[in-house]
A and B are shown apart, each in its own frame.
Chain A
Amino acid sequence: MSRRAHQKTPQNLFFGLIAGFFLLAAIGAYVLQKGSNPYRTTEPLKPADYFENANSLRGNVYQVEGVILNALAQNPEKGRLFSISVTSESKKWPMPILIPAKLRQINLQKNQSYRAKCKVDDTGILVAEEIQKS
């Protein structure tokens, strides 16, 4: 009887360790995940609202994540205008995003996914305040 008890303890410990490991891994993953989205506190933009009336969103700040589609225009003083495809509600919404001149050091490449903190300016254009690859 005692021999069976002696053998039973390591097995439980093993399973306990594995569970603990996974728990730690989950906690770590959660923590890590939380740490990779710097704009997690910023409300994500709902593309449907933007399409409906961008002017009504003027002055708001949103986080936008999407894939760069095309460079639309640029001005050394004002910055670069891109189209970005934002996926929402299983639909792709092409939207314009202006990367101001102050963010000229960031290289934006086509088909790359980026996350940005944007502000809707007076003309209803999304102007990136911060942007990074996602």
Chain B
Amino acid sequence: MNIWTRWIVVMGYFLPLAALPQEGDSKAATGGARPPQMNPGFLGRDVPVVDPGSDNATFDGKLFNLNNNRLFRSRFEKYLNAPAETSEADQQYEKVMNEILSLLSPGKVNTENLDAAWKLLPKASEYRSDANLCNAMADVVYSVWLAKNEVARLEMANRTLQKEKSALEWNYRMNIGSSPKITTPTGTNPTTQSSILSPEDEARVEPIKEALSDVRSTLANNKLKKEASIVQAKIDFQTMIIQYFAQRRFRHVLIGTRFYRALFGDGDNRISALDQISSSLPVDKDAGQVKVKAKLDPKVSGRGGSGAYVGAGTGTSADGTRKSSGAGADTSSSGGAFSAEGMQFGVENLGVESLISAGASGLKALGKMINSLGQLDSLANEAIRDVDEGVEAYKFLLEKNELKSATERLFETFMMGEYLPSVRKLSRDEKRRALEFTRKTNELLAALEVNDLSRAEDLIRELSQTARDFDTSKPLAVVETAKTVSAMHLAKAKAAAASGDKNTLETELRAATEIWPRNPALAEVSSAIFSQTDVQQQSLNDFDRLLAQKNFRQIFDDKVRFIAATAMFPDRQEKLKSVLDRVQSAEAALTRSLELAKRGDPAGAWESVERGFADYPDDPKLNQARADYTTQAAEFVHSIRTAQEMERKRQIGSSLAWYLRAYQDYPNSEIARDGIDRISADIVK
């Protein structure tokens, strides 16, 4: 594992992955022309899925862009709006920091320079950019010195104790040397014997023995204290350096590591802080480990131009020491359907204790990867170089008008080296363009999130004009697709409205609204549909009312409206047809009667009106004409009416005679002819 890989791993523990929001989120926003919550997905909505290609994660029907969160956006925008740190104070601060680093550099470090560097730390902390970190470091260095003083004091005490111990041992030997000795065998071994002092001697050496024992135990304790004090000082120092590293205060890391080497000149640069932290965590071994369980029993089906790939595999590295396994699924659909089921996913033993246990394991693993201050030092130097390079790349891309790449590089550089001078010294003007691009990108994301496709389209065009490298194809494709789908739903809604299918109308309108809520055509179509529905309903109400009133003439006069309104109602359509036929017949009779009257044939005119009257007796026009012609052809009309009356009374002979008389008066009479034929046939049948 190279140093950069380690750096990424380290950063992964403390920082979320950082990158700029991408226009690819548009697909996420609409889910390929549909709102994301409407897409069931391959694994359903209950399993969180991360798409590394677009930095998107989905869970429970919602879609998150890993980069598109308020924390990152606001922090970056705050930086872009901040003035360049090129003030006198900033320059002084940088000068102090450089001086400290210079004093502590490997070639120059000595006691005097160490003291001088330490004295500069509080001075550096006076500047706002430092955030008092140098003060904290000065305190830790001072603590190390205190620990070292304590060690010296303990060593001095131990030397005194050693002298006292020697004196006590001599006194002890002198006191027991003049007394006779009684030797007694002990145990089963005849060669092992212990001296037995007389009671007088015993009483005399006992205080010496106790004093000697106390001195020995104090000596041992002091040795332990000395070791512990140094170890604790090292751990405190290492913890501070790691913390600075995590905070991306790389220059403070360099200062810290140089102080550390100068303070602890024993050559022991191993980092034991991580192990110390992990061992200090309250791990409950009985809590067990968090287990993620997944059971795959795939039942996959695809149809109609859809594609799906599901795969799983294992691999072993060349040396056979590393094994990996993975499963992947790539699904896509186009003009077809895809479905998959049979995935079970679950988490077992998830709790505070198990999470602490996992954290401790992680720290131990990290401690094994980064086990010396030299590594931290290298990583910090590499990060500083990379940030400087990122800033240079940003400036170059800016010159080339490649705003997308420039902003991405600046964002990455900012996330890594937020506090480094090269980043902080960028002028507002230099950051302004990136700020505008970022704002527009964020606006585009917001527009796509709420499916404001018109706004999204405008923003895409603006971005393509300001940023030469902004790829419009993907977001534009999504916008156009969503628009097309929305238009299709609207067309279906129109058709449903025309056919009176209210359920489909509602469903299609809702779908069109979800895909493109601010679609201008939506309001127009909705308005047209609803006004059409209103007009249609009003027309139907009028038709029903006029039909009940038998006002067929009004229906006939307004026939165009009623024909359109009843087009989708067969029962009403049938009634309308009947009404129109009757009125049409009456109209024809009136027209014919008018012609006959003009020719001086009032009987024929009356007869024409009379025949129309039979179909539509309530028509006022027919009634009026009938009354007029009755007076003009009174005798003929009398004959016909008498004949009809007699026929109704079953006075066949008289009725036929009257019909014959009417026929005699008006030989063209169809009524008379029909009556004669009808009765004659009845007589001879």
Contact = CB atoms under 8 A, between A and B. Distances in A.
Interface of A: 50-55, 69, 72-75, 78-81, 83, 85, 92-96, 98, 120, 123-126
B654 A55 contact: yes
A73 B654 contact: no
Describe A's contact surface by its main secondary structure. Answer: strand
Interface string B672-685: 00001100110111
Contact of A98 (B657, B660, B683): B683
Nearest to A80: B684
A124 B654 contact: yes
Contact of B653 (A55, A79, A80, A94): A55
Given A72-B676, A92-B664, A94-B663, A50 B683 contact: no
A123 B663 CA distance: 21
Nearest to A83: B660
Contacts of B650: 123
A120 B653 contact: yes
Interface string B646-661: 0000111110111011
Given A51-B657, A55-B651, A93-B657, A73 B681 contact: yes
Contact of B652 (A72, A92, A93, A123): A123
A72 B650 CA distance: 19
Contacts of B658: 51
A123 B650 CA distance: 8
Contacts of A72: 656, 676-677, 680
Contacts of A93: 657, 661
B660 A50 contact: no
Contacts of A96: 653, 656-657, 660, 680, 683
B653 A125 contact: yes
Contacts, number: 74
A112 to B, nearest CB: 18
A48 to B, nearest CB: 11
A95 B660 contact: yes
Interface of B: 650-654, 656-658, 660-661, 663-664, 676-677, 680-681, 683-685
8 contacts: A73-B683, A73-B684, A75-B684, A85-B664, A94-B661, A96-B683, A124-B654, A125-B656
Nearest to A82: B680
A92 B653 CA distance: 17
Given A53-B651, A54-B651, A94 B657 contact: yes
B653 A50 contact: yes
Contacts of B656: 72, 96, 125
Chain A CB within 10 A, most for which of B658, B677, B684: B684
B657 A74 contact: no
Contacts of A55: 651, 653-654
A89 to B, nearest CB: 14
Nearest to B658: A51
Given A50-B654, A73-B677, A78-B684, 15 more contacts: A50-B657, A51-B657, A51-B661, A52-B654, A53-B654, A54-B657, A55-B654, A72-B676, A73-B683, A93-B661, A94-B657, A94-B664, A98-B684, A123-B652, A124-B652
A66 B576 CA distance: 53
A114 B680 CA distance: 21
B654 A79 contact: no
Contacts of A51: 654, 657-658, 661
A126 B677 CA distance: 17
A124 B652 CA distance: 6
Nearest to A57: B653
A25 B654 CA distance: 43
Instruction: Please name the 8 residue pairs, one residue from A and one from B, whose CB atoms are nearest each other, closest first.
Output: A124-B653, A54-B653, A94-B660, A73-B680, A75-B684, A72-B680, A54-B654, A123-B652
